[in-house]
Amino acid sequence: MLIFNNVFEIIPTIGTALLLEIGFIFLAIALFWFARILGELLEIIQKPPVEGLIRIAGWLLIGTFALPHYIANAYFYPNLTADSNMWIWLWVFRTISNLGLMVAAALAFIPVFLYWRWTRE
């Protein structure tokens, strides 16, 4: 795939680190939109408003995944050869981003499961 190799060679290191974060910000925007739709559906079936958990999951994606992951890939990863202490910070920021992603997934799953259970009754 010569075309994709040329595109990624043009984008500097900071640009390639930014591609994944832009995708997760779009995912967070989709979660915000889904939370609004789920809130309206919960009003129709007269159940408690639990769509706030999905909004929290969207903000967690932005705050605990996109930002630390960008910092790790844009600043720590390119400087690993210059300073060996960057390994510690790299793994700290990646651990924060992956734990944030896991918590956001759990928070987004809970309202969906509740809605599924309530509509099966």
**pLDDT single digits (tens) 30-81:** 999 999 999 999 999 999 989 999 999 999 999 998 888 888 888 888 778 8
- Is 116 among the domain residues? yes
> For residue 106, is pLDDT > 80?
yes
Provide the domain count of the chain: 1
- Is 102 among the domain residues? yes
- Is 5 among the domain residues? no
Residue 9's pLDDT band, with cuts at 50, 70 and 90, is: low
CB 104 within 8 A of CB 65: yes
- Is 103 among the domain residues? yes
Look up the domain containing 61 and give its range: 14-120
Which pLDDT tens digit goes with each residue over 13-29? 556 678 888 888 999 99
- Is 59 among the domain residues? yes
SS3 of residue 1 by DSSP: coil
> For residue 107, is pLDDT > 90?
yes
- Is 47 among the domain residues? yes
- Is 6 among the domain residues? no
- Is 7 among the domain residues? no
